[in-house]
Amino acid sequence: MRRVAFLVACALAGCGGGSSGGPRPSLAGDTGGGAAAKLENLRGDLVSIDVVGLPADRARTARSALRSAVGAPFDRNMVGSDVRALWALGSIADVRAEGRLAQGGVALRFSVREQKRIRSIDVRGSKAVPAQQWLGQIPFKTGDFFDPARLSGIRRGMLEQLLQLGFHNAKVGFSSSEPKEGGVEVVFSIEEGPMVKLAKVAFRGNKAVPQKTLLEVLAKNGGGVVGARYWRTALERGLFQVSEHYFDKGYVNVFVGPVDEKLSPDGSMTLTIPVQEGDQFRLGEVAFEGALVGTPREYAGRFGLKRGQVFSRRKVSEAMERVRELHKTKGQPNVDFVPVTEVDAKKKRIKLTIQVRQAGQAPGQPGQRPPAPGQPPAGQPGQPAAGQPAGQPAGQPAPGQPPGQPAAGQPAPAQPAQPVLPGKPGRPPGG
């Protein structure tokens, strides 16, 4: 655990004590006597700054990272920033800062303890993936600094690979020990469990979209292929595409999930996925305001969508890109589009006002608060229920946003209600 200790003491032996329990090293500039000083009473300019506990090359790097300087006033906040900078060097086990009254000011010392070096790395219990293959993927070698945080990340990556291979109940852990010979021995322990295959997928409650279509959308994204190895992350990504499919058909309040998983003793998985479609919405009035470069007719012509069409986030996004091209032809390529919506739940209409502003201009117009990109205005369709997951798939193997996540500048109400998977809190709106 990272500890930051500011120890202020007089130079007399036994006056105060460090959290390490051992004797504190003396500091340059000690007065050799005087009354103990309280931390809040420590005043004066810095007369010396020492970094101890690191080899010479690392000590030079550490000193260059410090913001505190000899001759400057002692500043507790600055020292705290310096401690964080020392942690940022990496491979650090502990950092302590000590300040003492010294003749002419304050003497400051940073005591840094490095992590121990890795003596060996082993992988045990793996059957589907050879241990040597795992070891080849681990970006550590003998002699590297022991880093528990990075090793935990490696453990999570190994687990995700096993889940992707269909080992639905796999477990991966790592332990470390310090032998008498020195260093740290690291062992990854793997429990694969049985491989799980998807036997059946069924949607329940869908009326507007046929079962066959939903299964095709799900399977197209690798999330529900019957007979394939079951991987929950792929399922989640596929369910986002199912929600997206509904939203492009105007069902802005669709709610998919929670998914019911049934695992048979033979290792086959059956999924039942409930769907609450909600009402279908259509496009209402479309207006543009702000830094306009053309007439309303020009904007309407480029936008291309008409009142009464089924509201589709994809089509609205494409229409906004056509409007962006209009600005480029007028010599105004650096503009932002902020979609603001007004929803008429009774008429099932969504009015869309697109605010056009120059890049860097303060968002919104007086008296208006446009929603954040990808988020609908409060109380309007697409707003997730309290406690509903935000929608970032856990353990996604590739960086970036998941399928179905809106890009900046897309119409705000086009955020579909997020699917809920087993073990994730969530409920449909109004539930």
Q: What is the pLDDT along the chain (431 residues), one digit of tens a residue?
A: 443 334 433 332 233 333 333 333 333 333 344 343 555 567 889 999 999 999 888 889 999 999 999 999 998 889 889 999 998 888 888 999 888 888 888 888 999 998 899 999 999 999 999 999 999 999 888 888 898 888 999 999 999 999 989 999 999 999 999 998 889 999 999 999 999 999 999 999 999 999 999 999 998 877 788 888 999 989 999 999 999 999 999 999 999 989 999 999 888 999 999 999 999 999 999 999 988 888 888 888 999 999 999 999 899 999 989 988 888 888 888 888 888 889 999 999 999 998 988 776 555 444 333 344 344 433 344 433 333 333 333 333 333 333 333 444 444 433 334 444 444 434 443 43
- Of 407, 405, 341, 347, whose CA–CA distance to 379 is shortest? 341
| Predicted pLDDT of residue 332 | 82
Residue ranges of the chain that CATH labels 3.10.20.310: 6-114, 118-191, 197-276, 282-358
Q: How far apart, in whole angstroms, are the C-alpha atoms of residue 226 and residue 202?
A: 11
Element (H, E) at 240: helix 232-247
| Predicted pLDDT of residue 330 | 83
CATH superfamily for 197-276 is membrane protein fhac (3.10.20.310)
**β-strands 184-191, 255-256: how paired?**
unpaired
In CATH terms, the fold of domain 282-358 is Ubiquitin-like (UB roll) (3.10.20)
Q: Are 428 and 417 in contact (CB under 8 A)?
A: yes
**Bridge partners of 204?**
274
Q: By three-state DSSP, how is residue 155 classified?
A: helix
Q: How far apart, in whole angstroms, are the C-alpha atoms of residue 149 and residue 425?
A: 27
Q: How far apart, in whole angstroms, are the C-alpha atoms of residue 85 and residue 399?
A: 27
Element (H, E) at 321: helix 313-329
Neighbouring residues of 157: CB distance < 8 A, sequence distance ≥ 6 = none
Q: How far apart, in whole angstroms, are the C-alpha atoms of residue 370 and residue 357?
A: 12
| Predicted pLDDT of residue 383 | 39
pTM: 0.61
Q: By three-state DSSP, how is residue 198 classified?
A: strand
Q: Is the peptide bond before 258 cis (omega within 30 degrees of 0)?
A: yes
Domain 118-191 in CATH 3.10.20.310: yes
DSSP, res 214: H
| Class of residue 350 by CB neighbours under 10 A (exposed 0-12, middle 13-18, buried 19+) | buried
Q: Are 91 and 148 in contact (CB under 8 A)?
A: no
Q: What are phi and psi of 78, to 5 degrees?
A: -65, -40
Q: What are phi and psi of 235, to 5 degrees?
A: -60, -45
CATH architecture of 6-114: Roll (3.10)
Q: How far apart, in whole angstroms, are the C-alpha atoms of residue 316 and residue 322?
A: 10
